[in-house]
Structure 1
Amino acid sequence: MSMLTRLAALTNIDVDDASTAVVKSLPFTPYNQTSNQGIITSELLKSENEALLDDLVAKYGSQGWETVYNKAAVALVARNVPFLSGRVLIQVSLRHLNDKAAIISQCREYAASFADAGIPNDRYAIKLPFSGAAAAAARELKAEGIATLATSVFCMEQAVAASQAGCVMISPYYNEIAAHIDPSARINVADTALQHPMSPRILQMLSFFASQPAPQPIMVIASHITPQEVLAMANLGCPHITISAANLEGLAALPDTLGPVTAGKPSPTYAGWKTPEKYAALEKTDPLASGEWNGVTASMATDYVADNGKALDEYIRSDALVSHRIEDARKFFLKAEDEAKTAIEAKIKA
């Protein structure tokens, strides 16, 4: 048995890739499939998807590259729904990060395309990089029956806002975007769950969700560099982990030498969730806080969604680490989107 099989017994595994081959290669049915502009662009520009792109350009090229790209994102993930038990997810453009109206407009466009593809509302969700505008948009989209996931989440304030906005899922980034690009930005520690500086915030979020009486966003933790980091998420009690193709392959290659699995999976609804005893002290720390942390975490006492997410935006601007990491995500995903734009426009002009 591999460590991938073991992990599947400990938590719910999602696929952070748009490839049908990756989904079908797993020895079990994954739950959700997540994606972003980097993943969609990479998949769309593969030679085996050129016919799909050509067809979309022929149909929608007159409406511009963005329409083609949005249609492509839906088409690439919609074909994977039969091989999943949960949802497929695509992400709104980071060009709309602080524009509620534009976020809602793109989500409605996605929703219409999913409907055209025969995908019901309960089989997809839309990822919103979680600014104040995104939080306000999520609340309105929920009222329209469009499910959202709060992504690019780095702090408790965003997590509370996701709860208040009615997001169905939330994806904290365990590592910042820079760590995927620059090896010097990676966290190298002996015990990932115990020593990684993001672990306390993950535990604080899980504990917060578990303490609330109303349904909460399902945590689908993301952004791992190594298979060992992925395994650490199960130790922390994360109910879902979305895993890159490379890490899925790495986990499948690792033999399981740890003996029988005795623990059950944590509930996505947080029923019965408790901070694992080994990590209880972590919840009362925050290594990522600027200066000396006062021990106070964000709570429902502040409405982070009201007034177009004003309180959330104010917090993000005040926190250099969070604002920097969100800006890195913005640049990274816009670069991927621009790569697709160039390729699509070249085909439109051809």
Structure 2
Amino acid sequence: MTRTQLDRLAQLVNIDVDSVNPDDAKALPFKPFNQTSNQAVMYTAMCDPRNKADYERLVKKYGNKGWQEVWDRFSVQLCKNNIDNVSNRVLVQVSPRNCYDRQAVLDQCYNFDKAFAEVGIGRDRYAIKISTVGPAMSAAAQLNKEGIRTLGTSLFGLPQAIAASQARCLYISPYFNEVRAYSDKSLWPDVEDPAINHPMAPRLIHILETYTKLHEQTGEEQPVIVMASHANLNELFATAELGVQHSTILGNHLAELAKAPDTLPEVTFTKPKHPYKDRVTPARFSKHSTSDPLAGPEWDGKFASTEIDYIANNGENLTKAIKADPVVTSKIKDVLDIFHENEEKAREMIEKSIKELS
């Protein structure tokens, strides 16, 4: 059997599937570790005729509680349908309309927790994706303390990563690019060697080095990086080389990897046995440790401090740090706008179905 690029990538990084379609997971020659999702993934699934029976059943059962209840229950049901196809966790995502309201985040996550329990999925088999903004990370700290595990998503900078660590998130998902599959917005540059030349590569190294330092200093586990939003296969291999532990991959990219023969040059790096223990930044990336091409000409060369409490007072210091970084501010808005747009389509569809079916 011909060795594929999917075989190669699976040796270098743990593969998560960014799809709730069971066919995408089943098509792999191995079980993916996690199944991630977002509002765009879920809305696409809602429109899939294969999910019509589940959708209509949930509209009839929960429609009297409003569209949000149906949407959350539908998201959990699709995770239930797919959980046997992954080896670890299934993930849902908090609404973009809630992420700046701490209590709204808590309320939705408790509702998810209840819904997962009712379909027989325990807290060790699911996690909830929460945008790494101030109020949401403040909520995440409480949730993780209570045993409801979270992933800090929509992440573009080091202060967000430190906040996710302080909130004891299980995972984080830095974005290497835009949410390409759902947006016509311009991408960051398509470069020949993304591990060196992509503007997000240094920030990824900053996060890896900071988590390594925190692990060494405290002995505490740090969030596992689940890299998201790759624009092409080249970027998938680049982030693996940079040192991420997991990549969450859209179904179309998984299919592309599975069809591509592995004619890539041999590499000198391997999948780390532990995300941060004894980790050393490869010499090839040494310049990343002291540079930040996204910081702008007025950057003073200083990085975010782990001594700052980013989640206290409703995430006040994280909010300030995000506002001080135009790139992070812009990228978070772009991503949340995309998710909000898809959730609005879902809301309209569900409210119409409630009138027709309830």
The TM-score bracket by the shorter chain reads: over 0.9
- Identity of paired residues, percent? 43
For 1:265 and 1:332, the matched residues in 2 are separated by 32
Could you list the per-position Cα deviations for residues 189-221 of structure 1 after superposition, in whole angstroms to 9, with x for gaps in the alignment? 111111000000001101111111311000001
| CA distances 1:77-128 after superposition (whole Å, capped 9, x unpaired) | 1221111111111100000121000000000000111111111101110000
1:320 corresponding residue in structure 2: 326
What residue identity is the alignment partner of 2:110?
Answer: R
SS in 2 for 1:80: helix
Which residue is equivalent to 2:352?
Answer: 346
> Which residue of 249, 256, 265 maps to 1:250?
256
Other-structure match for 2:93: 91
Change (3 A) 1:178 1:42: closer
Q: 1:72 to 1:340 in 2, by over 3 A?
A: same
RMSD: 1.5
Q: Secondary structure in 1 aligned to 2:97?
A: helix
- How do 1:137-286 residues align onto structure 2 when only pairs under 5 Å count? 137-177=139-179, 181-182=183-184, 184-212=186-214, 213=218, 214-258=220-264, 263-286=269-292
**Aligned with 1:311 (options 317, 320, 333):** 317
Say if 1:51 and 1:100 are closer, same or farther in 2 by CA, change over 3 A: same
Q: What aligned pairs does 1:12-161 form with structure 2 within 5 A after superposition?
A: 12-161=14-163
Inter-CA distance 265–217: structure 2 relative to 1 (3 Å threshold):
same
Deviation at 1:312, TM superposition (A): 0.3
For the Cα contact (< 8 Å) 1:6–1:261, is it kept in 2?
no
Change (3 A) 1:7 1:53: same
- For residues 297 and 236 of structure 1, do their structure 2 counterparts lie closer, same or farther at Cα, with a shift above 3 Å needed? same
Alpha-carbon distance in structure 2 between the residues aligned to 1:62 and 1:339 = 19
Counterpart Cα distance in 1 of 2:19 and 2:274: 21
Whole-Å separation in 1 of the counterparts to 2:183 and 2:204: 23
**Conserved 8 A contact 1:165-1:305:** yes
Aligned with 2:124: secondary structure?
helix
Specify the SS of the correspondent of 2:209.
helix
Letter matched to residue 277 of structure 1: A
Say if 1:140 and 1:183 are closer, same or farther in 2 by CA, change over 3 A: closer
Aligned residue pairs, count: 350
How many angstroms apart in 2 are the aligned matches of 1:179 and 1:321? 20
TM-superposition CA deviations, 1:112-155 (whole Å, max 9, x none): 11111111101110000111001100111012110000000010
Distance, in Å, in 2 between the alignment partners of 1:320 and 1:183 is 17
Q: Which runs of 5+ in 1 are unaligned?
A: none
CA distance in 2, matches of 1:195, 1:29: 32
Q: CA deviation at 1:179?
A: 8.6
Deviation, structure 1 residue 328: 1.1
TM-score (norm 1): 0.96
> Do the aligned partners of 2:20 and 2:79 also contact (CA within 8 Å) in 1?
yes
Q: How far apart are residue 180 of structure 1 and its match?
A: 5.6
1:329 to partner: Cα distance: 1.4
CA contact (8 A) 1:135 1:161 kept: yes
- Unaligned runs of at least 5 residues, structure 2: none
- Rounded Cα–Cα distance in structure 1 between residues aligned with 2:170 and 2:186: 34
Asked if 1 retains the 8 angstrom alpha-carbon contact of 2:177 and 2:187, the reply is no
Scaled by the length of structure 2, the TM-score of the pair is 0.94
Q: What is the rounded CA distance, in whole Å, between the counterparts of 1:256 and 1:147 in structure 2?
A: 36
Q: CA deviation at 1:290?
A: 2.5
Distance 1:259 1:191 in 2: 14
CA distance change for structure 1 residues 179 and 47 in 2, over 3 Å: closer, same or farther?
Answer: closer
Equivalent position amino acid for 1:336 in 2: N
Deviations 1:152-197 (A, max 9, x none): 0010000000001110000001113479623743412111111000
What is the identity, as a one-letter code, of the residue corresponding to 1:145?
A: G
> Which aligned pairs between 1:295-310 and structure 2 lie closer than 5 A?
295-310=301-316
- SS state at 2:336 partner: helix
CA-CA distance at 1:272 after TM superposition: 2.2
> 1:270/1:30 Cα in 2 relative to 1: closer, same or farther (>3 Å)?
same
Name the amino acid aligned to 1:224. H
Is the 2:129–2:151 contact (alpha carbons within 8 Å) kept by the matching residues of 1? yes
The residue type equivalent to 2:340 in the other structure is L
**CA drift at 1:284:** 1.2
